[in-house]
Amino acid sequence: MAFQNLGTVPNKTVLDRYMRLELPEDKCQAMYVWVDGSGENLRSKTRTLNFIPKAPEELPIWNFDGSSTAQAEGSNSDVYLHPVALYRDPFRLGNNKLVLCETYKHDKTPTETNRRRKCVEVMTKAAAEHPWFGMEQEYTLLDIDNHPLGWPKNGYPGPQGPYYCGVGARKVYGRDVVEAHYRACLYTGINISGTNAEVMPAQWEFQVGPCEGITMGDDLWMARYLLHRVAEDFGVVVSLDPKPIPGDWNGAGMHTNFSTDAMRKPNGILAIETAIEKLGKVHAAHIRAYDPHGGKDNERRLTGLHETSSIHDFSAGVANRGASIRIPRGVAEEKTGYLEDRRPSSNADPYVVSERLVRTICLDES
């Protein structure tokens, strides 16, 4: 049988027989990846190239049926894929590629969920300030039945406490998925910087960065794609819901670390304090930008409990994980470094989050 007992998880030994077949030297498979009409989910499809691309500009523009991804009407369904970032393919190996794409309508304008285009414009305007980002992507692993991985089917695990950065079969669930994803990211060239088990069991986090400008959004979106693909191989589901389990359980965020050249220089704490003052004046605008539904998702998470601030109030503090903005203890002591915006939800668009931060802090837009 080609399938094991675990639902529909295929026997990878059978697949490997075909994946080991050598391709002609002048051909490669290019997997085009894009954000669909939900603004949260990713889609992909593959084409054969008769050359080995070295840069996204070398790749052809492609198209797809936008009426099947909530990005076009059936009567005018062609949506165009413009390659913007190129990565090594950790699944097919060899010279095969993953291609991150922007999406454009039939009239050559960006689709509603192509948030990258505006982000590029903003990053270009602020290039002289060299904005750096580091995003901490939290997520939850679920069984195919959408029950948290490793949790009792008719109850709950023990209270939070032993699971954060834990070790042991009763404390962590899904480590194989995490390790496979980590290696896949490193292989592709994504600037992944770490990973750890989170406070709620079956919840994990990986960090991407530091990345400058548009690279932050590119690498984070492709890292999400890899996470879903790796989890698919293991027969488990990845949830980016910011509050997957109601009650006394931590939610999931995408804490965003940010700095400019001025913040990283000696006595950069002054620039950090100025940035926090600017952020406090436009708190509501940032909340609207920090989840795909204008703040509705974050209402369930930003309650003032479980290491979060209240969605209604802006706050800042040194080493305070209950604040909107946290200044790390080391930054406060050395008076140089970065700030951490703890408000973005786990399902936020990294292009929107990074763009909003640069607009407020670097371009003084209210």
Q: Looking at the structure, do residues 170 and 241 belong to the same domain, yes or no?
A: yes
Strands 203-212 and 192-197: antiparallel
| Same structural domain, 85 and 188 | no
Mean pLDDT of 193-209: 98
Question: Average pLDDT of 87-112?
Answer: 97
Statement to judge: residues 195 and 259 lie in one domain: yes
Examine residue 6 and state whether it is found in any structural domain, yes or no: no
Domain extent at residue 101: 24-111
Q: Averaged over 109-119, what is the pLDDT?
A: 97
The answer to whether 254 and 348 have CB atoms below 8 angstroms apart is yes
Same domain? For 91 and 161 the reply is no
The mean pLDDT value for 140-155 works out to 95
Is residue 11, in this structure, part of any structural domain at all? no
In a domain, 7, yes or no: no
Please give the tally of structural domains in the chain: 2
- Report the C-alpha gap between 200 and 157 in whole angstroms: 10
Q: pLDDT category, 9, cuts 50, 70, 90?
A: low
First-to-last CA distance in the chain?
61
| Residue 4 within a domain | no
Domain of 35: which CATH number?
3.10.20.70
Q: Average pLDDT for residues 130-137, to the nearest whole number?
A: 98
Q: What angle do CA 206, 210, 211 make, to 5 degrees?
A: 105
Residue 118 lies in a domain: no
Q: How far is CA 328 from CA 17, 57, 78, 265, in A?
A: 50, 40, 47, 16
| Percent residues over pLDDT 90 in the chain | 93
Reported confidence tier of residue 10, pLDDT bands at 50, 70, 90:
low
Lowest mean pLDDT among 3-17, 22-36, 80-94: 3-17
Do 196 and 147 lie in one domain? The reply is yes
**Neighbour-count burial of 158, counting CB atoms closer than 10 A to its CB (0-12 exposed, 13-18 middle, 19+ buried):** exposed
CATH classification of the domain holding 320:
3.30.590.10
User: In terms of domains, do 186 and 290 share one?
Assistant: yes
Round the average pLDDT of the chain to a whole number and report it.
Answer: 95
d(CA 354, CA 256): 8
| Residue 309: count of CB within 10 angstroms of its CB | 24
Indicate if the pLDDT at residue 2 is higher than 80: no
* 8 Å CB contact between 123 and 214: yes
Question: Among 44, 77, 111, which residue terminates a domain?
Answer: 111
254-281 pLDDT, tens per residue? 999 999 999 999 999 999 999 999 999 9
Report pLDDT for 13. Answer: 86
Last residue of a domain, one of 58, 76, 111: 111
Mark whether 155 and 188 lie in a shared domain. Answer: yes
Q: Does 9 map to a domain?
A: no
Alpha-carbon distance of 98 to 105, in angstroms, equals 22
In a domain, 116, yes or no: no
pLDDT at residue 1 tops 60 = no
**SS3 labels along the chain:** CCECCCCCCECHHHHHHHHCCCCCCCCEEEEEEEECCCCCCEEEEEEEECCCCCCHHHCCCEEEEHHHCCCCECCECEEEEEEEEEEECCCCCCCCEEEEEEEECCCCCECCCCCHHHHHHHHHHCHHHCCEEEEEEEEEEECCCCCECCCCCCCCCCCCCCCCCCCCCCCCCCHHHHHHHHHHHHHHCCCEEEEEECCCCCEEEEEEEEEECCHHHHHHHHHHHHHHHHHHHHCCEEECCCCCCCCCCCCCEEEEEEECHHHHCCCCHHHHHHHHHHHHHCHHHHHHHCCCCCCHHHHCCCECCCCCCECCCCCEEECCCCCCEEECHHHHHHCCCCEEECCCECCCCHHHHHHHHHHHHCCCCC
Q: How confident is the model at residue 75 (pLDDT cuts 50, 70, 90)?
A: confident
Q: What is the pLDDT of residue 74?
A: 83
Q: How far apart are CA 126 and CA 138, in angstroms?
A: 28
Domain shared by 192 and 77, yes or no:
no
The b/e string for 261-276 (b: 16+ C-beta within 10 A; e otherwise) is ebbbeeebbebbeebb
Q: Let me know whether 98 and 194 are in one domain.
A: no
d(CA 100, CA 205): 22
- 210, 87: one domain: no
Pair (213, 321) in one structural domain = yes
pLDDT of 5 reads: 44
Residue 76, domain member (yes or no): yes
Inform me whether the pLDDT recorded for 3 exceeds 60.
no
Query: Among 60, 78, 111, where does a domain finish?
Result: 111
**Residue 227 and residue 265 share a domain:** yes
